Structure 1
Amino acid sequence: MILLYIIPAVDIKNGKCVQLVQGKPGTEQVIIDNPHEVAKNWEDKGAEILHVINLDGAFGENSKNREVIEKIIDTVSVPVQLGGGIRTVDDAANLLDLGVEKVILGTMAVENPELVNQLSDDYGSDSIIVALDSKNSEVVVKGWTESTGKTAPELGLSLQKHGAGGILFTNVDVEGLLSGFNMDPLLELLDAVNIPVIYSGGVTTLEDIETLSKTKTFGTVIGSALYKGRIDFETALKFQAVHSF
């Protein structure tokens, strides 16, 4: 059995930790004050990586949550991978200089892969994760509103060649629905690339995690299922590997 990282999601909106359905504003089902305390709680429970998303940045309000992100970085000692609203090289560089371990690049990477090269050259490929969000088997960008007409394996292979050190693959069709997921798109991506792939979307049960642990998936980001008690985090850690991030 190949083990994988269990990565709690800490999604930030209006300075609070939230969980949205299908990433849509106004669908908040979990709202918790003090995201830095939420992050610290996951670390105390055994998380070795934290997945932080600046939802306000993703929705176009990049100036929001800077202090919250700084407080998370100052509070925890484990690596933080962060995405949401990173639209320029300077945006990414500022976060890496702040202490974020890895930046997650979405639309920016897909539309301007040469910028991935630039950041990889400046900070090392290990600092760069590209987000490939798949809907109806095609990668979508700009908040899941526009299709690229390309598959995740196509873009994953291309961005790997441009210096990406990892991929965050989200199955938009099932994200946030707590309904399980289809393995086929993930397996196709894993066969195409040889950089770490982190999976997100629809992971709802320990059985889902066990299924992922039998693939080459590096880790899985879990949000709603943890916050709603569908998955016990400390029980899920039995599937986690102990190796360097």
Structure 2
Amino acid sequence: MVFEDNKMEIMPAVDIKNGKCVQLVQGKPGSEQVIIDNPEEVALKWENEGAEVVHVIDLDGTIDGKSNVKLIEKIIDTVNVPVQIGGGIRSVEYAGQLLDLGVERVIIGTMGIIHPETIRELSSEYGPEHIMISLDSKDSKVVIKGWQEKIDKSPVELSEEFADNGAGSILYTNVDVEGLLNGLNTEPIIGLVKSSPIPVVYSGGVSSEDDLKTLQKTGVKGVVIGSALYKNKLNLKDALKYQDIN
């Protein structure tokens, strides 16, 4: 699956924790505001409403390193659209296992930033279109290890490096606004899109159709929407109107 010209893919999020679909505030354990059984059915609901890709984050993997691979497999088997997965991917072997299960795109954060050779290895074996590097930003610096540790580099500084290492795309999350439903700050998004030689997908704080109109002008190739959908601030069918950019 490649990113298309003149399209901003709308990607509903299915965050999984303890076997359920949840929404956390700024990724903090214990801040669950949404808890739904059977994440695979949630993913199917988004597909039935028109989503062309589902964005799954394994929060158990991110927070404590426990893999939800059986649940991930169930989601893949339930839906017919591509699934991209991140969270707790801490080895080349596990990333390969997910891709072999049928995951369309693995989203790699901490491992890739600390060990960029892992991105090269996976890209060489599976193709760059299946490898997405996650650049999560807080106070304009990249954060790793579940947003707990800040490194002294910005997303812009890292974007070219990872394109050279074989990543096919970037997931950029602005932690400062993620989960708060207070809108977004476009300046760092535009800066990253302009500097990055590979497609950028944005995540964090999307809460309205106005946000989607704004993001259309930034050049991002995809937008992940989570809390706004689950709290009925946004309707997926309405959001999908902003996929095609004229």
Same-fold call, TM cutoff 0.5: yes
What is the distance in 1 between the residues matched to 2:29 and 2:104?
A: 27
Number of matched pairs? 241
Question: Does the alignment pair 1:13 with 2:13?
Answer: no
Determine if contact 2:56/2:84 at 8 Å carries over to the other structure.
yes
In structure 2, what is the Cα distance between the partners aligned to 1:190 and 1:26?
33
* CA distance in structure 1 between the aligned counterparts of 2:48 and 2:98, rounded to whole angstroms: 24
Match of 1:40 among 16, 38, 44: 44
Mapped to 2, the partners of 1:3 and 1:236 lie a distance apart of 13
Secondary structure at the counterpart of residue 122 of structure 1? helix
Q: Check conservation: 1:2, 1:213, Cα contact below 8 A.
A: no
Query: How far did residue 12 of structure 1 move?
Result: 0.2
Deviation at 1:226, TM superposition (A): 0.4
Deviation at 1:241, TM superposition (A): 3.0
Aligned partners of 2:160 and 2:244: how far apart in 1? Answer: 25
CA shift for structure 1 position 62: 2.3
Alpha-carbon shift at residue 175 of structure 1 (Å): 0.3
Q: Aligned residue for 1:181?
A: 184
% of aligned pairs identical?
58
Q: For residue 26 of structure 1, what is the amino acid of its counterpart?
A: G
Do residues 223 (structure 1) and 223 (structure 2) align?
no
Of the three residues 98, 113, 116, the one matched with 2:116 is: 113
Q: Distance in 2 between matches of 1:134 and 1:66?
A: 27
Paired residue for 2:53? Answer: 49
What is residue 28 of structure 1 aligned with on the other side? 32
- Among 140, 145, 151, the residue aligned to 1:137: 140
Q: Output the TM-score relative to the length of structure 2.
A: 0.96
Decide whether the 8 Å contact of 1:8 with 1:51 is kept in 2: yes
Q: Whole-Å Cα distance in 2 between the matches of residues 99 and 60 of structure 1?
A: 24
Are 1:2 and 1:214, in contact at CA under 8 Å, matched by a contact in 2?
Answer: no
Q: Deviations over 1:126-152 (max 9, x none)?
A: 010000000000001111111110010
Shift of 1:61: 3.3
5+ long unaligned stretches in structure 1: none
CA RMSD of aligned residues (A): 1.2
> Partners of 1:160 and 1:169 in 2: how far apart?
14
**What is the letter of the counterpart of residue 91 of structure 1?**
Y
The one-letter amino acid paired with 1:136 is D
- Aligned to 1:180, the other structure's residue is in SS state coil
Q: CA deviation at 1:194?
A: 2.1
Q: In structure 2, how many angstroms separate the alpha carbons of the residues matched to 1:103 and 1:3?
A: 21
Could you tell me which runs of 5 or more consecutive residues in structure 2 were left unpaired when the two chains were aligned.
none
Contact 1:40 1:75 in 2 (8 A): yes
Of residues 72, 84, 87, the one that matches 2:87 is: 84
The equivalent of 2:165 in structure 1 is: 162
Displaced runs of 4+ in structure 1, greater than 3 A?
none
- The answer to whether the 8 A contact 2:189-2:218 is kept is no
- Indicate whether 1:204 and 2:204 are aligned: no
2:33 aligned partner, one-letter code: Q
How much does 1:207 deviate?
A: 0.2
Residue identity in the other structure for 1:107: T
The one-letter code matched in structure 2 to 1:12 is I
Return the TM-score normalized by structure 1: 0.96
Is 1:235 matched with 2:238? yes
Separation (CA, whole Å) in 1 of partners of 2:44 and 2:104: 16
